[in-house]
Amino acid sequence: MLVSYSSSSEDESDCFTAQRKRSNNITCQDDDDGARFCKRTKLEAVNSDKGNDQNNEVLHERKHGRLPVPDTVLHMFREEQWVDDSAKHGGRVRSFQHERGNWATYVFLPYTPDEVFLELLDEVRALAGSLDMTLTHTEEFHISLSQTVVLRHHWIQPFVESLKSSLAHIQGFPCLASRLNVYSNSERTRTFLGLEISTGHAQLTQLTKVIDRTMEEFRLSTFYQDPSFHVSLGWCVGDCADQLRSTCLPQLQNLLDNHEEGPFQLRVPCQELRCKTGNKVFSIHLH
């Protein structure tokens, strides 16, 4: 008896054909199970398409070197706007707007007060107060040798080095002051009472000319044409120059001239210049 066997490939083909028929029959049924199956297969197809689209977008961004930046990173470097509150520093008003990277800079001769000077200063402020003129104590005593200018941060070191080179040949000298005078800033927002330098004025003038050369090198404002060098004792807000001169100055000068130890004379040893830029202070010693 002869028995005919089909090949394995024919069996697999017949089985695959039967499975396709069963699958078509199931997906085309109108019953509830068939409907749910149809919806499920469509949803899977849609999700698959969406996933492919998203993958394509990521691949496109990677191909062009661009990836989405998270919001947390974007907000890390948001620059806060500076609000200047004059009430926090005695009503003083800035000469120029604060800007990140700008450093307020000036050159000066420092003066370290002694006990006699501080006691006399208290007497001067008390007398001015009795004459309806309130003076705020100066925080640091010095003789200004430049205007306050603006330096960018990367200019600071070259600027200081230029000053040191220009002043290398300057010798130190003494300064004396005994006469009171009244001063105002350029904006007329503050009025100062100061002791005007008499002895040493010519040397200070020569010193400012040397400093001006560095200012011109960096295209900054030079010092005043006819400066009155002085040490500020106190200040008040606003333009009070006329009132201070007419009401207070004669009596305050009389206080200094009739000091118990004789006419007061302020001595400032000019051996060291300082350049203050922002919160940094650089010393330049004279020979």
The greatest distance separating any two alpha carbons of the chain, rounded to the nearest whole angstrom, comes to: 151
| 60, 75, 137, 142: the active-site residue | 142
| 154, 230, 259, 285: the active-site residue | 230
User: End-to-end CA distance of the chain, in Å?
Assistant: 131
Q: Which residues share a beta bridge with 195? A: 180, 231
Asked whether 203 and 270 are in contact (CB, 8 A), the reply is: yes
Gap between the Cα atoms of 246 and 250, Å rounded = 8
Helices (H), 131-278: 156-166, 201-217, 241-243, 249-257
* Active site annotation includes 142: yes
Gap between the Cα atoms of 214 and 222, Å rounded = 9
DSSP 244: I
* Active site annotation includes 201: no
Question: Of 103, 104, 99, which Cα lies nearest the Cα of 79?
Answer: 99
Question: Of 151, 146, 142, which Cα lies nearest the Cα of 210?
Answer: 146
For residue 26, how many other CB atoms are within 10 A of its CB? 13
Asked whether 27 and 41 are in contact (CB, 8 A), the reply is: yes
Give catalytic residue positions.
Answer: 142, 230
